[in-house]
Each structure stands twice: as structure tokens, then as C-alpha cells.
Amino acid sequence: MKWNSIRTKMIVFMLLPIVICIVAAMIISYSHTTASLRTRAVEENTNLLYQGYRNIDSMLQEINRVSLSVYSDAEFYRQLDAGYDDISANISIYSSLNYMYKAIPGAYQVYLYGIKDNKATMITQETPKRWQDPAPYPASALPEKELLQIQTTHPSHHYGLLSPFPQATKEQVFTLHRRIEKIPTNQAIGYLSIDVKLSALFGIINQLYDKSKENLYIIDAEGNLVYTEDETLLGKPLQDDWYGKPAAGFTGDQGSFEMNGAVFIYQRIQSTGADWTLVKQIPVSNLLGEANQAAKINAVLFGVALLVIITAIVLISIRITSPIKRLSTYMNQVKIGNLQVDVAPAGNDEVGVLTERFRDMMDTLNNLILREYKLELSSKDNQLRALQAQINPHFLNNTLQIIGTLALELKVPQIYTLISSLGKMMRYSMNNDERTVTLKDELEHAKAYIELQKERFENRFAFHYEIEDSLLQVPMPKMILQPIMENYFKHGIDLSESGGWISLTATKDTEGNMAIIVQNNGALIPDDKLRRLQSGLALSGAEQVKPGEDEPDGKTSSIGLINVLTRLRLVYGENAELIVANLKPDGVRITLKFKVQDESGE
């Protein structure tokens, strides 16, 4: 490929910006995704650790509440203050300590030392035992003004007593120590210690992290481990380098920091007797696993896209040059006199526009040759159609008059009457000189229509009207009443019974408001169709169906109820109304309302 060729330049200059943009998009997307994952992980785990803090705090509060029963149990408190020697007193003490043992989930053992009689009592695995004249265990003997303390996780022991429980096994426990004082003084009357298995925390802790990917620590105020997965480190100072560095300082009750390829989220637990910190360690590689996977997928997609782009660029360069060769071939055809050459489109680019202009030029040349002939032929065809449109209706009307005359000669007046009615309707509809007619004209046209329908339906209905003579000269649009009545014969009349009727009334009040009511006892309009019709009639005149367009019922007609209303509004304004309603039990009422502007027409 030569550098000075258009194809080479197109490939280079189109491929280079695409590669740059895709690589930049991948870098930006990866950076944004990793930052978003970090932020989301910190927020989610902060909320998770806070919930863990609430649960651990509730458990410590419950242990503290149980330890305070030494004050609420009056008999226990009295015996502890006075000392006890008899069996009943021992039983009472055992019972109170056993209550504490069972009231705390995960309790391992309960230790009580009475100062008054120098007795130590301990319950382990529901087994009570008492010792006379031992020394109080140092960790349990809290100094004055320190009423409560929670000791960090440590292996269980027998509080220095010489005759341990042989059936007892070693457990990792944390301990609540309480100094029992004689109220209201600060004099100590006993010491209470409750060992709780570390496993009591597992139900809470296991919900806070994924052991296969993350680490969790509970650290006391001295930096000793209350909880960690490595049991050999329990109760010992935390030696990890991240804990001793200034950047790992725990500021506030909760927060996070990143160090040594991991994100640390912490939550402080300040409960009765305890000052712990809950720390969760999440490797950054786990946080960014989704982002790295997405980066790999993007790299694969980038390779596929690049291959597709290179192929597309080569094909485009070929496509741009091939239309130029085809255009040269077309020109050679014209040069030898072939004016009917078929010029195929060549696209929308500059070459395509040039080809289109060449094709337009050839079309113009061919059109100029046939223009005069085509114009003359079109003119004669239009004249013929116009002449036929004028002759056909008049021919039909004249033919009806001849048939009517023949019916009279043959003494068949019924046929003459029907033909006369049909002739009146044709003449009425053919007269297009006047835009408006009178109510009298409309009534005559409607009566002629009724005569034809009576013959069609064998007098199965009656027609009557009530209109004052003073209203017969009211002007109105042509073909208003007959389309309204036509709906009765199309949809309402019952062919199986006689006794149908249709009526027409017209009234006008003193303010010139005219009302024309056409009603019948035919079938009701279905509710859904009535709603659609009323909705169409509610539109403004500018939105109504125009002659020749589709009516709402799907039929194409130049005459319909909506068309009637549209033409009525053209004459009497937008306040004209056409109201359709069902009668009960049978029938339909259609009401026309408009205001007569010309008073001289009354």
C-alpha cells in the first residue's frame, strides 16, 4: 500500500482516532468503575459493621442486665451481705447463680466470691461447687469506683480454685467482672464473674464478612484481640503492621482507610464495660474483581471491534472508488447515443450526488422529448372525465322521469310515487349551487326518503313530525336531517316486528335557540360505541372528521353524524351541538342545538 493513495490515508486517519478513543474510554471506564466499587463497598460494609455493632452491644447489654440481678434479688443480696452457712442458703445462692448461667446464651461458667464469709462459689456446665476460705481471684476483685469490666478473650480457667471440675473442657471466653457493693456505701461485699463463650459472638460475626476472602478483627482498647480467626492470637496484642502505623488511626466512631493492598473499615463498640473496635479487612483485589473482569471483556471486545473496523474501512475505500468507474461507463454509453441508459444510485456521498445529478440530467432530456405529447393526452383525458361526471347524474334523473311517466300510463301509481320520491332526492343532492337551504327543504327531502323506506320495510314503522310553520324558513346546511334518520334504518329498526316509529320535532325559544329532535324506538346503541361517538362529537369543529375521511366506526362516508355536526358548526358557529342518547327501554334520541342568527328567517 502506497502512502500517497487515498485508500492508505483513509485507513490510517480513520483507524488512529478510533483506537485512541477506545483506549481512552477503556481507561476512563476502568478508573470510574474501580472508584465506584470502592465507594460502594465502603458504604455497604460501614452499614454492615454498624448493624454488627448494634447486635454485639445488645448482647453485652443483656449480659450486664443479668449480672445486675444480684441487686434485684433481695434474698440473694441479703445472704451475700450477711454471709451464709446453712444448706438452705447455699441452695438459694446456687439457684440465683444458675439463673444467671441459663439466662445468658453461650454462658460457660459463673463465679461468685462472698467477702463476708470468704466463700467462693462457681457453676460450670450446670454443676455448682463451693470453696471455703480461698482468696478472691485477682481479675475479679475490681478496685473501688470500677464497678464493671469486660475482660478480653482468654482461655477459660477455674479462678485459682484447687479442686477444678474434672468434666470441664477448655474454652475461649470473654468475661464480665462486676464489683458488688453494699448500697449506699462503696464497701465491696462480693465479686461476680461471668464467662461467655466466644462462640456466642459467632452468630453475629459470621454475618459480617466472607471468611474465604476477608478478615475480621475485634480489638479492645489496649490493642488485644477479642476476636480473630487465628485462635492462637486471641487475647494477645495485634502485631499486624497496618495497626501500628499512624495512617491506621481510628478517628471517630466509624471510618475507613486503605493500606497494604487492602481496604479497612472500622466501627467502634462502646458498651457497658467494653471499649472494642470492629475492623473488617477487604483485599483490593476482591473489590476490583468485577472491574478486572470487565476490563478483560472490554479488551476482547476492543480486539473484535478493531478487526471489524479495519475490514469496514477497506470495504469503504473500495466502495468509494468503484462508483466513479461506473459513472465513467454511463458517460460512454451516452456518448454513443444511448439516452435510455439505466443509471443506478451510488449512495449519498459526493460521488453519489454526482451520479444522481447525471441521472437527473438524462431524465430531463427524455422528459423534454415526451412532454408535449403527455400534456396533450392528460388534458383530453381530464376533459372527458369532467364531461362524464356532468352527463351521468342528469342521464339517471331523466331516465327516472321516463319510468315514472310510463308507470302512470300503465296505471301503477305506487311505482310513480316511489320514483318521484327518488327523483326529488336526486335533484336535491345534485343541486350544489346553494350552500344552505331551509328547514322546509330539508323536511321535504326527509319525507321523500321516508316514502322510499316505507316501501322497503313494508310499512313496519310510522313517521310523524311536529314543526311550526314559522320555523320552516330557518336556514340550515344541506343534507342534515336525512343522514340522522338513516341511522334508524341502518342500525335500529327491528325487521321481525311492526310498530316501529320515528319522529321529528323542532322548537325555538325567545332567544333564538333552535332545537331539532329526531327520536325512534329502535335498538339501543351499545355503551362502548355510544361513548366513542360522544367523544368524537365533543371535539371542536376544527378537529371533526371532514367529508370523505373515515368515520369513527371505521366506515368511509361523506355523510355521518360527526360530519353533520361539523357542517352545522360551519354555519352556526362552534356553539352548535349534536347530542346522542339512548332512550329507555328502547330507542335513540338525537338532538341538534344551534342559535339562529338571522331573525328575518323566523
Q: What CATH number has the domain bearing residue 577?
A: 3.30.565.10
CB 96 within 8 A of CB 73: yes
In a domain, 448, yes or no: no
In a domain, 518, yes or no: yes
Q: Which residue has better confidence, 538 or 58?
A: 58
Read off the C-alpha cell for 212.
474465604
In a domain, 417, yes or no: no
Neighbours of 492 (CB within 10 A): 19
Read off the C-alpha cell for 578.
349534536
Q: Among residues 201, 231, 263, which one ends one of the domains?
A: 201
CA–CA–CA angle 146, 148, 150 (5° rounding): 125
pLDDT of residue 370: 62
pLDDT in tens, 472-499: 999 888 888 988 988 888 888 888 788 8
Q: How confident is the model at residue 385 (pLDDT cuts 50, 70, 90)?
A: very low
In a domain, 5, yes or no: no
Most confident among 12-21, 140-149, 380-389 (mean pLDDT): 140-149
Which residues, other chains included, contact 141 with Cβ-Cβ below 8 Å and sequence gap of 6+?
A: 113, 179, 188, 191
- Classify residue 143 by its DSSP letter: P
> How many angstroms separate the CA atoms of 352 and 357, rounded?
9
> 87-103 and 6-67 are packed helices; what angle lies between their axes, rounded to 10 degrees?
170
Residue 392 has pLDDT above 60, yes or no: no
Q: How many domains does the chain have?
A: 2
Read off the C-alpha cell for 250.
481510628
On the question of a cis peptide bond just before residue 184, with omega within 30 degrees of 0, the verdict is yes
> How many angstroms separate the CA atoms of 503 and 463, rounded?
6
Q: Which amino acid is at 489?
A: F
In a domain, 506, yes or no: yes
Residue 294 has pLDDT above 80, yes or no: no
**Which residues share a beta bridge with 467?**
506
Burial code (b: 16+ CB inside 10 Å, e: under 16) for 138-177 equals ebbebeeeebbbbbbbbebbbbebeeeeeebeeebbbbbb
Q: Among residues 201, 221, 240, which one ends one of the domains?
A: 201
Q: Which residue has better confidence, 415 or 150?
A: 150
> How many angstroms separate the CA atoms of 521 and 582, rounded?
10
**pTM assigned to the model:** 0.49
Which residues, other chains included, contact 81 with Cβ-Cβ below 8 Å and sequence gap of 6+?
A: 116, 182, 189
In a domain, 495, yes or no: yes
Residue 542 has pLDDT above 50, yes or no: no
Which residues, other chains included, contact 266 with Cβ-Cβ below 8 Å and sequence gap of 6+?
A: 49, 250, 254, 255, 256, 277, 278, 279, 280
473: domain range?
463-601
In a domain, 19, yes or no: no
pLDDT in tens, 188-222: 999 999 999 998 888 889 898 888 888 999 998 88
Residue 591 has pLDDT above 70, yes or no: yes
Read off the C-alpha cell for 306.
478493531
Neighbours of 360 (CB within 10 A): 11
Residue 7 has pLDDT above 70, yes or no: no
* Residue 454: burial class (beta carbons within 10 Å; 0-12, 13-18, 19+): middle
Residue with cell 296505471: 411
Q: Give the torsion sign (CA, 82, 85, 90, 91).
A: negative
> How many angstroms separate the CA atoms of 454 and 462, rounded?
8
> 561-572 and 527-537 are packed helices; what angle lies between their axes, rounded to 10 degrees?
20
Q: Among residues 201, 230, 248, which one ends one of the domains?
A: 201
- Residue 347's nearest CA partner among 335, 339, 359 is 359
What's the average model confidence in pLDDT over 531-553?
Answer: 59
Q: Range with the lowest mean pLDDT among 37-46, 231-240, 334-343?
A: 334-343
* Residue 51: burial class (beta carbons within 10 Å; 0-12, 13-18, 19+): middle
DSSP string covering 53-117: HHHHHHHHHHHHHHHTHHHH-HHHHHHHHH---SHHHHHHHHHHHHHHHHHSTTEEEEEEEETTT
What CATH number should be reported for the domain holding residue 120? 3.30.450.20
> How many angstroms separate the CA atoms of 296 and 29, rounded?
12
Backbone angles phi, psi at 586, to 5 degrees: -135, 150
- Residue 190's nearest CA partner among 84, 59, 65 is 84
What's the average model confidence in pLDDT over 574-597?
Answer: 90
Residue 560 has pLDDT above 90, yes or no: no
In a domain, 166, yes or no: yes
pLDDT in tens, 429-449: 666 556 678 999 989 888 888
